[in-house]
Amino acid sequence: MMMWLLLCSLAFGGDEIITLKKGEKAPWDGTLMSPSAVAHMLAKEESDLATCLADAKKDKAILSAEKDFEIQTAEAKLAKCTFESTKKEELYLERIDWLEKKTNPPSWQAPVTFGTGIVIGMATVALSAWTLDKIQEN
């Protein structure tokens, strides 16, 4: 592996490409690579790039899924709170109705109280008249 890295760094030393045949001398110092070695090196670079892209997409998908989960969790908490708030409001309204019924007198109470007052008033007038009549007789 170390040798391959050394060869790769030397292969990119110049920017000229010359095809030589067996036995020919190279016009400069450097590393000579066979076409299959160059193809392997290029394929390795493409493979590394594809792996990098796949890893980046995977990391993005994981982060997106985690954030979606956090958002859904927050929405569920909000729905729970809203539901509990609605239930408490309904309970409070029921209690208010019950208390209003307890504090409001029944519909029959006013006429009965009025009638009783009239009867007591008439009895008081009659008793007073009878008492005054008895006092005058004596």
∠ Cα 51 55 61 (to 5°): 145
Backbone torsions φ then ψ of 14, nearest 5 degrees: -115, 170
- Residue 39's alpha-carbon distances to 32, 35, 77, 88, in angstroms, are 13, 6, 56, 73
Q: pLDDT, tens digit, for every residue of 34-78?
A: 778 888 888 999 999 999 999 999 999 999 999 999 999 999 999
pLDDT greater than 90 at residue 22: no
Quote the tokens at residue 29.
């110092």
3-state secondary structure of 129: helix
Q: pLDDT, tens digit, for every residue of 76-90?
A: 999 999 999 999 999
Exposure b/e, 37-48, CB count within 10 A at least 16 = b? eeeebeeeeeee
Q: Which residue has the tokens 């969790």?
A: 73
The verdict on pTM exceeding 0.85 is no
